[in-house]
């Protein structure tokens, strides 16, 4: 197979294939949200790649390198485990070059991404997203198994394939250097596989001594978080509490980032919405993480610096999440409109500091810990915890509840998690309290209801309390 290049005309480039349109994305300057007196911030518009994300670069390069090496032959099947964007890029390349494509996708992926994969003709294999690394249902393990069971299949392996960071060292980095006339002083990018920041950052550090800042979700392991779940897709590193070995992608060169900026989900998602409404840029959650970090860097660096942030994908594939007011409100990222009493008005003054028990705690330990529980504690949330000193918990971390009255009947040496009931319902702190009460439905009046602030459980209320709205 030959790979053709573009022909330039007065009207713009003319491509022999859609694949020739990958790369050479524009830089756009942010005009309205940059802090006064800060460095100018320019964004690399990677969502303008034909498949809609920065992953088009890696997808195309991985396929071309596999063809050159003979690992990928005509009529073969491309397989990958992906949260969406790499799969979409690979699906586009597969369609253009005549391959079958099969992608293992975690169930937390947006419906828009799954629909796009299928639109390109790819087969989608859903799997649970929150499982230990050693679980055979894990995205990467399941993809590897499919390859082993499929004659002629090739695993793209974005996490370990050197063609991933290589394409950014050869294209993305040089593009940014040329577009800024060598004036770029800071690169800000997220790390999912780590390919983009490793390759782009390596080139810019070598060429111009550029400071490389990794924008990372606050709980991601990359930047030093506890690895608990977060709501921004396609960036950072989640660590299941039962994973035995924390394995990072081989393509992530951790020596490249000079530092990390840890960004909470709330800051990321509110930045995403500001970009759409104040800059006219409809981008995804990881782009919000990158821009939020870039705005911090801008304020710190001052007007003589020049900051470039890589924005990986479009907001069009997140309309059902980051741009859906209902989704954001029920998770505590936004307030309901109107003047009705909100959940936090009903709950009253509170301080983060949810009393929980780790699932691995013994019944005996919990009985002892109850001495420090708030007065009147009847039901205790059970968390899949790594750090028992946390004050807030990601909603998926709360895996059940245990009633205090049940403890006396349990084996003192038993783990609490083995006797946990179902997880409690959750409401956003800014939800209309009456609407929230209706949404969670019937149940024991005094049973706990989690109150979420920016997607994390900070305290509890009850159905009975919400009935007072």
Domain membership of residue 245 as a residue range: 16-323
Angstrom distances, CA of residue 294 to CA of 212, 231, 297, 311: 11, 20, 5, 11
The pLDDT-based confidence of 391 (bands split at 50, 70, 90) is confident
Q: Residue 182, by phi and psi: left (phi above 0), alpha (psi -120 to 50) or beta?
A: left
Active site residues per annotation: 55
User: Domain tally for the chain?
Assistant: 2
The whole-model pTM stands at: 0.94
154 with 302, same domain: the answer is yes
Alpha-carbon span 352 to 145, nearest angstrom: 43
Cα within 13 Å of Cα(164), Cβ side: 24
122 with 86, same domain: the answer is yes
- Residue carrying the six token digits 């490793």: 198
CB atoms within 10 A of CB 53: 28
8 Å CB contact between 120 and 127 = no
CB atoms within 10 A of CB 125: 14
Query: Could you say which of 255, 288, 323 is where a domain stops?
Result: 323
319 with 339, same domain: the answer is no
* Tens-digit pLDDT profile for residues 410-469: 999 999 999 999 999 999 999 999 999 999 999 888 888 999 999 999 988 889 999 887
* Tens-digit pLDDT profile for residues 1-20: 344 456 666 788 899 999 99
Query: Could you say which of 264, 292, 323 is where a domain stops?
Result: 323
343 with 313, same domain: the answer is no
* Tens-digit pLDDT profile for residues 88-146: 999 999 999 999 999 999 998 889 999 999 999 999 999 998 899 899 999 999 999 99
What CATH number is attached to the domain comprising 444?
Answer: 3.10.580.10
270 with 354, same domain: the answer is no
What CATH number is attached to the domain comprising 66?
Answer: 3.40.50.1100
């Amino acid at each position: 197979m030959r790979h053709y290049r573009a022909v330039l005309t007065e009207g713009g480039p003319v491509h022999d294939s859609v694949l020739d349109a990958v790369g050479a994305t524009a830089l756009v300057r942010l005009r309205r949200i940059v802090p006064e007196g800060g460095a100018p911030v320019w964004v690399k518009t990677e969502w303008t790649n034909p498949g809609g994300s920065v992953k088009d670069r890696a997808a195309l390069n991985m396929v071309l390198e596999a063809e050159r090496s003979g690992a990928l032959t005509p009529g073969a099947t491309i397989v990958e485990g992906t949260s969406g964007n790499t799969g979409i890029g690979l699906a586009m390349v597969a369609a253009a070059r005549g391959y079958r494509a099969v992608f293992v996708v975690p169930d937390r992926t947006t419906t828009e991404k799954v629909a796009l994969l299928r639109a390109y003709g790819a087969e989608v294999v859903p799997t649970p997203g929150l499982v230990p690394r050693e679980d055979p249902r894990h995205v990467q393990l399941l993809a590897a198994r499919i390859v082993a069971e499929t004659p002629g299949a090739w695993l793209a392996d974005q996490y370990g394939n050197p063609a991933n960071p290589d394409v950014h060292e050869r294209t993305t980095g040089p593009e940014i250097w040329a577009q800024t006339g060598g004036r770029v002083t800071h690169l800000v990018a997220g790390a999912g596989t780590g390919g983009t920041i490793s390759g782009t950052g390596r080139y810019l550090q070598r060429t111009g001594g550029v400071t490389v800042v990794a924008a990372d979700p606050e709980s991601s392991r990359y930047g030093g978080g506890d690895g608990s779940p977060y709501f921004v897709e396609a960036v950072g590193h989640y660590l299941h509490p039962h994973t035995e070995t924390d394995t990072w992608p081989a393509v992530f060169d951790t020596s490249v980032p000079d530092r990390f900026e840890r960004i909470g989900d709330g800051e990321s998602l509110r930045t995403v919405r500001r970009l759409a409404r104040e800059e006219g840029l409809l981008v995804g959650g990881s782009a919000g993480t990158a821009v939020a970090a870039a705005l911090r860097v801008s304020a710190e660096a001052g007007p003589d610096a020049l900051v470039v942030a890589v924005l990986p994908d479009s907001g069009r594939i997140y309309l059902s999440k980051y741009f859906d007011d209902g989704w954001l409100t029920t998770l505590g990222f936004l307030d309901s409109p109107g003047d009705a009493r909100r959940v936090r008005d009903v709950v009253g003054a509170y301080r983060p500091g949810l009393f929980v028990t780790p699932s691995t705690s013994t019944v005996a330990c919990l009985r002892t810990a109850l001495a420090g529980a708030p007065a009147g504690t009847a039901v205790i949330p059970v968390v899949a915890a790594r750090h028992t000193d946390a004050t807030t918990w990601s909603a998926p971390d709360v895996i059940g509840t245990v009633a205090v009255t049940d403890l006396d009947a349990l084996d003192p040496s038993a783990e609490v998690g083995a006797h946990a009931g179902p997880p409690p319902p959750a409401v956003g702190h800014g939800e209309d309290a009456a609407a929230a009460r209706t949404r969670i439905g019937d149940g024991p009046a005094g049973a706990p209801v989690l109150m979420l602030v920016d997607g994390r459980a900070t305290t509890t209320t009850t159905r009975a309390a919400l009935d007072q709205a």
